[in-house]
Amino acid sequence: MKPVAIVTGANRGIGAETARALAQEGFSLALAVRNPDSATELAAELGQYDGEVIIVPCDVSKHADVKAMVETTITRLGRIDTLVNNAGSLEPIGLIEETDPDSWLQCVQVNLTGAYFVIREVLPHFRSRGDGVIVNLSSGAALRPLRGWSAYCSSKAGLAMLTRAVAEEVSETEIRVYGFQPGMVDTRMTQEGLKKRINILSDKKAEDFFPPAEPAAAIAMLCCHRPAEFHGGESRYGDEQMMAWLETL
């Protein structure tokens, strides 16, 4: 049976490119997206590979949606081997006292609580076999405060600690957990966020951004090769250690 991966937020950007990379590596895929219509073209494209591809509606900020999505994946694809927690939100952008509290909470719900929901639901399946891979899409913003991005920075910092906490709890197994920082990537979410020109990142030039396919290929390699040296911590695409490891493959 082919390995099965769930990719959340798989309809565009890094999520879509990660799905492509995993399909090329022989994975069957559950594309977890809020709007199923947004992933139909991608699913049709991935049909050229050997694995099965399903689209599962899921708002990761809602536990009931996540639970149903994981159950559907097990029912239709038979197992789960890999989880890529990619779904994310950058909004609201603005000074803290000017942000909308509900929007601020929703960002945390998607970036942090949503990742927790999916991990919570897949871990029993991983534990039953004693292995599995979780990749949490982190950010340099987890470690560095950025003006106007308080919700995003705070939620990604929490996600980095969640990665460490999960790694601690699965330390007696072969389950691997990675916090992966893709660097500055040319995605719609990033470009829309930088248009507001509220912090120094807005001065970045086009050549400073990675195309989404590059870090996505690295995510696929983490899923396939499960390197022990990155387990439980934060790794960053473009850093010397990560690039040196990729060159050995």
Active-site residue set: 152
Number of neighbouring beta carbons within 10 Å of residue 24: 15
Structure tokens that stand for 73 in this block = 């994946």
Sheet bearing 28-33, strands edge to edge: 53-57, 28-33, 4-8, 82-85, 131-137, 174-181, 234-236
Q: CA–CA separation, 102 vs 232, rounded Å?
A: 31
Q: CA–CA separation, 249 vs 241, rounded Å?
A: 13
Q: CA–CA separation, 123 vs 81, rounded Å?
A: 10
